[in-house]
Amino acid sequence: MSMGIVIKNIIPVTGDVITPEMVEYTRKYLQPDTELRTVQIAVGPPSIECEFDEAISAPDVLRLCKEAEEEGCDGIFINCYGDPAVKAAREYVDIPVFGGFEPSLHLAMGLADKIAVITVMNNVLPLIEGNVAKSHFDGRVCCVRSIDIPVEDLQQHDKVVAALIAETEEAIRVDGAQAVSLGCTAMVNVAEDVQAGLLEKGYEIPVIEAAQAAVMLLELEARMHLKQSRITYMRPPER
């Protein structure tokens, strides 16, 4: 009998931003024998809303990545759309690693030509725009926008849904967006309502929730025995 997949869900912030309900929503589409083990950094920022926050979260994220590999986990989800320490972790461990950014865009690009990313605060925009450029997604991501709501306030469901619908309408009209990637992994349990609200306004477009996309892609890569290229992600030199 084959063993199930184990994915380590690393929360790269110290704040109380991920609830058990959010974790359950994240694992909604995983196979029944896939386990999602959640752990949180002990040292770092309360939330990630800029490059500085990412940088100070990285050491403890990498420590937990190595622990996950040593425990025998099959994949690692660094639970943030900014992808803090993702590339470093791919060099450091020998199992697949994703943040929230790449998987949601890979999924969206199979559904539409022009993708809008809609995130939390304005100060996150340069971080995501930089990730778009580094990942060579420039030609497909038509805009990066924010709803100007901090991570700590994302549990105000109706307010967040209304803001996301309004910003997506602008992205469609102004930027030609044809699909949406929700640009924060704490934006859970809203994608369905945003998609339904847009449909009521006559816009039939997919809305991708980043955390679900990430764990689904990790599960797929683990089951297919795939991991990062050692040509792209060379191991750190021994010193």
What is the tens place of the pLDDT at every residue in 83-135? 999 999 999 999 999 999 999 999 999 999 999 999 999 999 999 999 999 99
Q: Which CATH number is 168's domain given?
A: 3.40.50.12500
> Does 95 share its domain with 126?
no
> Does 84 share its domain with 111?
no
* Euclidean distance between CA atoms 26 and 9, whole angstroms: 10
The range of the structural domain enclosing residue 59 comes to 6-100+212-223
What is the pLDDT of the chain when averaged over all its residues?
A: 95
> Does 80 share its domain with 133?
no
State pTM to two decimals. 0.95
> Does 218 share its domain with 195?
no
Give the model's confidence band at 223: pLDDT under 50 very low, under 70 low, under 90 confident, else very high.
Answer: very high
What pLDDT does residue 140 have?
97
- Measured between alpha carbons, how far is residue 189 from residues 50, 64, 136, 149 in Å? 24, 27, 29, 16
> Does 96 share its domain with 107?
no
**HSE value, Cβ hemisphere, 13 Å, CA-based, for 131:** 25
1 located within any domain: no
Q: What is the mean pLDDT of residues 177-190?
A: 95
* Euclidean distance between CA atoms 67 and 87, whole angstroms: 17
115 located within any domain: yes
Q: For residue 1, is pLDDT > 50?
A: no
Q: Which amino acid is at 221?
A: E
Q: How many domains does the chain have?
A: 2
Stated as kind and residue range, the H or E segment containing 166 is helix 157-175
What pLDDT does residue 137 have?
96
229 located within any domain: no
147-169 pLDDT, tens per residue? 999 988 888 999 999 999 999 99
> Does 108 share its domain with 173?
yes
* Euclidean distance between CA atoms 236 and 231, whole angstroms: 12
Q: Which of 218, 221, 209, 152 is nearest to 185 (CA)?
A: 209
- DSSP annotation of 159 reads H
Token code pair at residue 12? 């790269």
Q: For residue 14, is pLDDT > 60?
A: yes
